[in-house]
Structure 1
Amino acid sequence: MASYLNSEPTARDDLRYMVMASATPQFFNLGGDLELFVRLISDRDRDALYEYGRTGIDVVYDNWTHLGIPTLTTISLVQGVALGGGFEGALSCNVFIAEECAQMAFPEMLFNMFPGMGAYSLLTRRIEPFRAERMMRTGRQYRARELWEMGVVDVLASDGEGVHAVNDFIRRHGHSRNAQEAIQQVRQRVNPITRQELVDVLEIWVDAAMRLTARDLRVMERIAAAQELLDAPKDETSASSRDHYAEAETPASVLRVAAGG
């Protein structure tokens, strides 16, 4: 894919759709590398933390601007859990498709931070700023249907039908591709997200991260451990670990239990 995208523009004219999905059942993306965050913040390595964030916003910007290819439409397909940076990644695509089972949240408030890789910019291009801020400030988990009703998710698919929904969207989109691509260009002209906007927010995020306390970092470490537990097969986790989170009904609530110690 990289060599294809780096080829001459004329060689990319046939690229119409790019779909971002997960090969891991029940999970889309659990977010950033919190263990790395803790280490970089503890070491006061602001530059490395900034570079990590810069890599993240580069992906967001490329998805949002469809890799600089006017005829390309980027699509995210969420069939499970998307948290933090994973949620931002899904939002960054031109079209957001999610199955009913999908669960999404910004849990950064649990460790006294905010999602800084484009969440505010991306959400406010879809919904009102006060709703976007509420999502970020509360860290509440949202079901796909609720996000679809809010206008965050573009296409809601039945469980297990996500791939079919993507194919159906591509088929319908292709019938009026000229108009669809023109509307996409108009949207990004009238309500753009610039790379500089993302960089400016990243600077605020890095500054906020460098102000985190030892207590905040301990909470982050516990949440990182909970992320690993969520991602690990059940037979690879200890009974005591599972018992600790037994009353947590959703991935977001697992992280809340972890944050509480």
Structure 2
Amino acid sequence: MSLIKQGKRDELLTYAIKCIDTLYRNMVHVDSELTTIALIQGDALGGGFEGALSSNVTIAERGVKLGLPEVVFNLFPGMGAYSLLSRKVGPVKAEEIILSGKLYLAEELYEMGVIDILAEKGKGEIAVYDYINSANRKANSYQAMRKVKDICNPIPYQELFDITEVWVDAALRLTDKDLRIMEKLVVRQTAKQV
């Protein structure tokens, strides 16, 4: 928020690039034959949701809430949400999810195909191990399928970078009112974590 208030585009872009660098590394399997797995056991909003989506497999426990609230303060999630969601649920649904600002239950997102595995509350870690065991029993099939997904639905780094530049410019156009709303959301979210 301080970078936005001060109009520091270069520093804001540096922040955004650090975010997409982390997500992209996860998307490309940490430059190895790994499968990245995100386990969501608590609410994941904004960047937390984008981070989870960047994994090759997303597992969420029932009852957790996920969403992209940026539209509430007149912005959009610019670190990969559209790229990732549009490849999972199509561009129309991705835009709907982003522009709604709605918090979705994991169950809803599982039905849409955003979440890969829905675990019972408190059983997320077991679901991760179950997935790993299943993938290990059919390692060749799982590894080949992961490669096929990468070929059919690539997300080039340049795409993320270009969208991030749009995000930076949009962030710099936020009004004082927008920033006050952002601050209230941050305070509310921080209070929940404590």
- State the TM-score, normalizing by the size of structure 2: 0.98
Match of 2:112 in 1: 150
Q: In the aligned structure 2, how far is the partner of 1:102 from the partner of 1:225?
A: 20
Q: CA deviation at 1:230?
A: 1.2
Report the alpha carbon displacement of residue 205 of structure 1 after superposing the two structures with TM.
0.2
1:57 pairs with one of 1, 20, 30: 20
Q: Following the alignment from structure 1 to structure 2, what is the Cα–Cα distance between the partners of residues 223 and 146?
A: 23
Which residue of the partner structure matches residue 32 of structure 1? Answer: none
SS in structure 1 of the partner of residue 30 of structure 2 = helix
Provide Cα deviations, 1:127-181, integer angstroms capped at 9, x if missing partner. 0211111111011111111111110011111011100000000000111111111
Match of 1:244 in 2: none
Q: In 2, Cα distance between the equivalents of 1:206 and 1:131?
A: 24
Paired AA for residue 142 in structure 2: Q
Deviation by residue 1:77-131 (Cα, 9 ceiling, x = unmatched): 0011000000000000000001102110100011100000000000011102111
More helix, by proportion: 2
Percent sequence identity is: 49
* 1:208 alignment partner in structure 2: 170
Moved over 3 A (4+): none
Taking the aligned partners of 2:131 and 2:152, their CA distance within structure 1 comes to 24
Secondary structure at 1:47 match in 2: helix
State the match for 1:164 in structure 2. Answer: 126
Which of 34, 46, 52 pairs up with 2:9? Answer: 46
Looking at structure 1, the residues matched to 63 and 130 of structure 2 have their Cα atoms a distance apart, in angstroms, of 19
- 2:137 is matched with 175
Distance 1:214 1:221 in 2: 10
User: Which letter maps to 2:58?
Assistant: F
Which residue identity lines up with residue 39 of structure 1 in the other structure?
S
Find 1:75's aligned residue among 18, 37, 58.
37
Cα distance in 1 for residues equivalent to 2:61 and 2:176: 38
Unaligned runs of 5+ in 1: 1-37, 233-261
Shift of 1:61: 0.5
TM-score of the two chains, using structure 1 as the length reference: 0.73
Structure 2 unpaired stretches of 5+? none
